[in-house]
Amino acid sequence: MTDDYSRRTVLGATGGVTLTALPGGRLLQQDPENGRGPPGGSDVESLAIERVGRYETGEFDGGAEIVAYDAARSRLFVVNSGAGRVEVLDVSDPAAPEQVAVIDAAGDVPDGGGANSVDVVGDLVAVAVENEDPQAPGFIALYDASSLQRMALDEVGPLPDKVTISPDGNYVLSANEGEPATDEEPGSRTDPGGSVSIIDVSDGVGGVQPTTLDFTPFDEQVESLRREGVRVYGASAEDDDPKPSTDFEPEFITVASDSETAFVSLQENNAIATVDIPNAEITDVSGLGFKDFSIEGNELDTSDADAGDADAISLQNWPVKGMYQPDAIAAHEVAGTQYVLTANEGDSRDFEETTVADLTLATDAFAPRLSENPYVDSVEGLQAPENLGNLAVTNQLGDHDDDGEFEDLYLFGGRSFSAFEVADDGLELVYDSGNEFERTYAEQFPAGFQNATESGPETEAVELGQVGDRTFAFVGIERGSGIFVYDVTTPTEARYVTTVLNRDFSVGFGDLAAEAEANPESDEPGRAGDWSSEGVEFIPAGGSPTDAPLLAAGYEVSGTVALFEVTPLPESDGEPGADAPAED
């Protein structure tokens, strides 16, 4: 651990370019008695969100990712994967966050390859550290939250991508992605397999032996898993006998409020696993199914032929399906019913990516669907670049009879966030935001409408927060860089509230990349605003240094951390979902 990190800049609320959408453009003064919102208590209808502080790591493309808040010390832990460390910020004044320490995770850990994730509960900080050899076992480093001294180092599965401490503080869990090596020839790649590790710290952190669970018990269930929508398809095109034990790649882990059940996203596999924590057992793997973009409410833009022309953005229904493939997930219990909220980013393996134009489509399968399509009436028209031709899809699904002609098209991600109810027979979709992300960008932030032919906005993060008597989901968008807010008090009736976005779209990725290469010690990636939200953390009023709810967000590309004040709005203050962007 060191006491300073030379490449850092602290900006107040006016730093950078800010475009913020607020309900009616109005903020409500906080109740000085409890800091929890409007006078009179908890009758909250909506909320406003405004950036009040900002911190720059100075690291382009990886400088600020996962964030975790320590309420007892008003500190924010920020994963700076570009520098391979965790930066510790004092946010007692949210308008002026200041770096007070650095945890050199890679240096603290023999064979450490850098930090991927961090979490804080009570006096315990957990950091996920990958091995220098990504296919070798990784580590969870445990630190004292006050002194920042390392107390324990535990070996877990290869490539721990997300670490989570259970709400009761008794368990540390990691989702170990176990990705195959990418620098080996296809067909002979080292693939260590994904896993989930559980560290029981209820009696202290010393001398604890982690339990690492793999997916071998599911190897005999490949066909039944596929029937349920779980993708089991191998690390390369030459893998003709894929198995869950090597194919599943845990991405993210969340723990239910009872600290007994964990849910793990298997992103590439379009599935979520359920873990019985006390009994150290993976009890279920549920496929998430597919989103039908041909139905009303699920319109999407599929063409880059008019890229850069805001007036040409067009959301349409097409005969394609989407794999939800969530990155971040969040457990949410309401009146005894357990839900899992999912950020449906989408992801792929390089060998499976193709475009609609490069596939041979089964005319007899698509002709009935195109007979009433208002845009095209033939397969040839469907495959034109101004329609679906350039759309990225998988070549591993859709050819149902294996004759080389595709009867269905499956794209990566859902371009949305969803709520799944945990039922006895698996997960049941009860809500999806449909086309709201793309529609909001098209209407409010057209310059941020990007990535139409790939995964769209790329929903990256989802975090829950209680404000008054309402529960809100804060959904981070990677490509458009916004944070969408939804009221999920009743998950089956989730509703859009507002969007906050602080980004200068006139600055391109290539601009920042060139500056970072030419002048790595003096470039300023933060000049583009807050770009590519990667991790979000809600800070409730009771643990906030200002006695008002806050939200912290790490932005990967710009290497910035933003702190937002969350202001409750009472029922009489405006109409939710009818927000107009206001410029700070």
Would you state the pLDDT for residue 445?
93
Please give the structure tokens belonging to residue 518. 């030419």
What span, in angstroms and rounded, lies between the C-alpha atoms of 342 and 330? 7
Can you give the pLDDT at residue 461? 98
From first to last of the 584 residues of the chain, give the pLDDT tens digit: 433 333 323 333 322 222 333 222 222 222 323 333 333 345 788 999 999 999 999 999 999 999 999 999 999 999 999 899 999 999 999 999 999 999 998 888 999 999 999 999 999 999 999 999 999 999 999 999 999 999 999 999 999 999 999 999 999 999 999 988 866 555 556 789 999 999 999 999 988 899 999 999 999 999 999 999 999 998 887 788 899 999 999 999 999 999 999 999 999 999 999 999 999 999 999 999 999 999 999 999 999 876 555 567 889 999 999 999 999 999 999 999 999 999 999 999 999 999 999 999 999 999 999 988 888 999 999 999 999 999 999 999 999 999 999 999 999 999 999 999 999 989 999 999 999 999 999 999 999 998 899 999 999 999 999 999 999 999 999 999 999 999 999 999 999 999 999 999 999 999 999 999 999 988 999 999 999 999 999 999 999 999 999 999 999 999 999 999 999 998 764 444 444 444 33
Q: What is the DSSP string of 499-544?
A: EEE-B-TTS-HHHHHHHHHH-TTT--GGGGBS--EEEEEEE-GGG-
Q: What is the pLDDT of residue 2?
A: 38
Cβ atoms within 10 A of the Cβ of 385, count? 16
Q: Token digits for 113? A: 């390859």
What confidence score (pLDDT) does residue 187 get? 54
| CA angle 572–418–391, rounded 5-degree value | 120
Q: What is the pLDDT of residue 208?
A: 87
Q: What letter would DSSP give residue 316?
A: B
Residues 6+ apart with CB under 8 A from 315: 299, 300, 301, 435, 438, 439, 442
Whether the CB-CB separation of 445 and 482 falls below 8 Å is answered with yes
Res 186: pLDDT: 53
pTM score: 0.90
Chain center to CA of 342: 8
**What residues contact 276, with CB distance under 8 A and at least 6 apart?**
260, 261, 282, 283
Q: Is 166 exposed, middle or buried (0-12, 13-18, 19+ CB in 10 A)?
A: buried
Dist CA 309 CA 305 (whole Å): 9
Q: Quick one: CA dihedral 573, 577, 581, 584, positive or negative?
A: positive
